[in-house]
């Protein structure tokens, strides 16, 4: 009886019209939700801690599937961060990773994965050491570091080579800063050690969470690797929202993140 009533209700012309009108937007919303949950999600870069790799104002896409899924990989879902991930795997050294800040998961950070479980990480006189070996570093160019007031500072770019041969650029303008000499950090199981490419202007795993830094990042806080910049706006030098289109960085459109 109920099945026949429902069939009759949905057979009505006015109901079919409403269903047909709603079907496309509902499917569109569901498709977007599935896309940002399972495949990829955009994020905005508000600081210069990852210069020269990422610029202030970059909009980057992070892939969801390479590291598996956790509480923070799925939007609009409440609950504690799990210690493990569904279909989970850890980043590779050198991945540029979007993650939730362990001491305040409402904040999203992006840094480079430098240390994996069991690795011993240390800074000595501004040089990065992993497992007792100083990483190769060669000078490459001069870049422009954008300050918080929008001004530009010329800074040397160096190419750092991680164990395994993966290379990435860093900004380095001094060798005796507050984070240039550290104790040895041994990365715990299920955690990752993160650092910014702008080595003299990055709050990262070199500073413990209890001291206002990042500390070790649990696997459950990972969202995914950033792989492309969709575009970028130099909002620090814009006079207002109306000026943003004139501060668009066309050179950052579809820039691959390495």
> Of 49, 202, 205, 232, which residue is the catalytic one?
49
How many CB atoms sit inside 10 A of residue 193's CB?
27
**pLDDT value, residue 23:** 44
Q: Helix, strand or coil for residue 226?
A: strand
Predicted TM-score (pTM) of the model is: 0.83
Q: Which two tokens stand for residue 239?
A: 């006079």
What stretches in the chain show pLDDT beneath 50? 1-4, 6-7, 9-10, 15, 18-19, 22-23, 25-36
How far apart CA 62 and CA 225 sit, in angstroms, is 5
Distances (CA, A) of 241 to 14, 95, 149: 45, 33, 17
Active site residue 49: yes
**pLDDT value, residue 74:** 65
> Of 64, 73, 111, 172, which residue is the catalytic one?
111
**pLDDT value, residue 27:** 41
**pLDDT value, residue 37:** 54
Active site residue 172: no
**pLDDT value, residue 17:** 56
**pLDDT value, residue 19:** 42
Distances (CA, A) of 242 to 147, 177, 230, 248: 22, 39, 20, 12
Q: Which two tokens stand for residue 178?
A: 């507050």
**pLDDT value, residue 68:** 83
Q: Which two tokens stand for residue 151?
A: 């001004």
Q: Which CATH number fits domain 2-256: 2.10.109.10, 3.60.15.10, 3.40.190.10, 3.30.465.10?
A: 2.10.109.10
Q: pLDDT tens for residues 109-139?
A: 999 999 999 999 999 999 999 999 999 999 9
**Are the C-beta atoms of 69 and 221 separated by less than 8 Å?**
no
């Amino acid at each position: 009886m109920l099945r026949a009533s429902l069939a009759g209700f949905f057979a009505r012309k006015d109901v079919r019209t409403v269903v047909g009108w709603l079907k496309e937007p509902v499917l569109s919303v569901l498709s977007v939700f599935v896309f940002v949950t399972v495949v990829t999600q955009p994020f905005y870069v508000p600081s210069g801690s990852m210069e020269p790799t990422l610029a202030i104002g970059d909009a980057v896409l992070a892939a969801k599937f390479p590291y598996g899924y956790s509480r923070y990989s799925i939007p609009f879902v409440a609950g504690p961060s799990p210690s493990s991930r569904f279909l989970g795997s850890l980043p590779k050294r050198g991945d540029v990773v979007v993650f939730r800040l362990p001491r305040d998961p409402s904040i999203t950070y992006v840094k480079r994965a430098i240390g994996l479980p069991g690795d011993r990480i240390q800074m000595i006189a501004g040089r990065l050491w992993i497992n007792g070996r100083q990483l190769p570093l060669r000078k490459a160019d001069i870049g422009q570091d954008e300050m918080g007031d929008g001004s530009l500072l010329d800074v040397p770019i160096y190419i750092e080579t991680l164990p395994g041969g993966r290379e990435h650029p860093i900004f380095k303008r001094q060798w005796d800063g507050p984070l240039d000499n550290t104790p040895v950090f041994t990365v715990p199981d299920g955690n990752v050690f993160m650092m910014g490419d702008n080595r003299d202007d990055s709050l990262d795993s070199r500073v413990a969470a209890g001291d206002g830094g990042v500390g070790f990042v649990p696997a459950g806080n990972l969202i995914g690797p950033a792989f492309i910049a969709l575009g970028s706006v130099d909002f620090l030098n814009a006079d207002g929202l109306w000026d943003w289109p004139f501060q668009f960085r066309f050179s950052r459109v579809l820039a691959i993140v390495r």
